[in-house]
Amino acid sequence: MDKKVVNLDSKKTIELEWKKYAKLGMFFIILIVLFALFLTSAFIVKEGEYKVVRQFQEVVSIKSEPGLAFKIPFIQTVSTLPKYQMAYDVSQAEINTKDKKRMIIDNYAVWKIDDPGKMITNARTVVNAESRMEEFIYSVVRAELGQLEYDEIINDEKSSRGSFNDRVTMKVNELLSKDEYGIIVTDVRTKRTDLPQENENSVYTRMVSERESKAQEYLSIGDAEKNRITAETDRKVRETLSKAQANAEVIRSEGEGEAAKMYNNSFSKDREFYSLFRTLETYKKTIGEDTVIVIPSDSPYARLLMGYTE
């Protein structure tokens, strides 16, 4: 009898312990499930990104402010898109100019996502958006440069490209807006323009010829200007010398006249002194170191030479 009571009590104790642990286990399971649901429903929006919430491929909300956000677990999905501007290196492409010449164009574009909902719906991914953008850029650049002659594109002096980059940017944005891709191109730029290998030598030779022709033109203009300046300078020099010589002749004649007048006034006061002066002037011109003079001893000339004054 006592054995049966002990067995019954043991069974009841085991059942109570089992129920206790079962309830505790159920509590932990529920807690884990709730934590898992929290993890699968919560997501963080970071600075510089969009979070697009979709349900069965339909966009239900767009989160753009940084912080914690929630979605319905297992039903809704979240896609991340960049909010900042991005640079895309467009693949090199060969185009034909208006005069049927080939050239290779290398461009790059700066773009950003303007409408995340449209971008996810129509382009799906950033890679697809860039692919569509590249197609539009190539199409517009080919059409724009196809209206220009080859020389107008490569020669800055003859270039009629004008606001080429602005026109390309505007037209690419029109195409993207028409197809509602939700992105906008802020700038399209040409990094470089190259020639196919087979055309480089001929174009280089022609460019050298053009530069040599231009250099010769500058040299001709310089020579003509030099000759004009030289001729003008020579004319002014001749005029200045002519005027100086004329003035000198006038001054000389005036001086000679004044000297003659002074001589006449001086010599008229003492005729004997004038005679002596003229004689001495004659000696200066006729007598040198090797001069031999034969004259009568009683001539006035000889008397003066010998020192006789009477």
Report the top-level CATH class of 85-194.
Answer: alpha beta
Domain spans in the chain, listed from the N-terminal domain onward: 15-81, 85-194, 211-269, 272-310
Q: Which H helix or E strand runs over 43?
A: strand 42-45
Report d(CA 232, CA 305) in Å as an integer. Answer: 61
Report d(CA 304, CA 310) in Å as an integer. Answer: 9
Report d(CA 187, CA 166) in Å as an integer. Answer: 7
Smallest Cα–Cα separation from 95: which of 156, 168, 166?
168
The residues with which 54 forms a beta bridge, in sequence order, are 59, 77
Predicted pLDDT of residue 137:
92
- What is the per-residue DSSP string for 259-284? HHHHHHHHHTT-HHHHHHHHHHHHHH
pTM for this entry: 0.53
CA distances from 64 to 35, 83, 168, 191 (A): 25, 8, 30, 34
Per residue in 12-37, pLDDT tens? 666 666 666 676 677 677 777 666 66
Report d(CA 219, CA 225) in Å as an integer. Answer: 10
The pair of structure tokens assigned to 136 is 């539009």
Q: Specify the length of the chain in residues.
A: 310
Mean pLDDT of the chain: 79
Smallest Cα–Cα separation from 115: which of 45, 46, 177?
177
Distance of CA 227 to the CA centre of its chain: 37
Report d(CA 55, CA 117) in Å as an integer. Answer: 13
Smallest Cα–Cα separation from 295: which of 271, 275, 277, 279?
279
- pLDDT beneath 70, residues of the chain: 1-21, 23-24, 27, 33-40, 154-162, 196-203, 267, 270-273, 276, 283, 285, 287-289, 293, 297, 299-310
Smallest Cα–Cα separation from 195: which of 76, 92, 53?
92
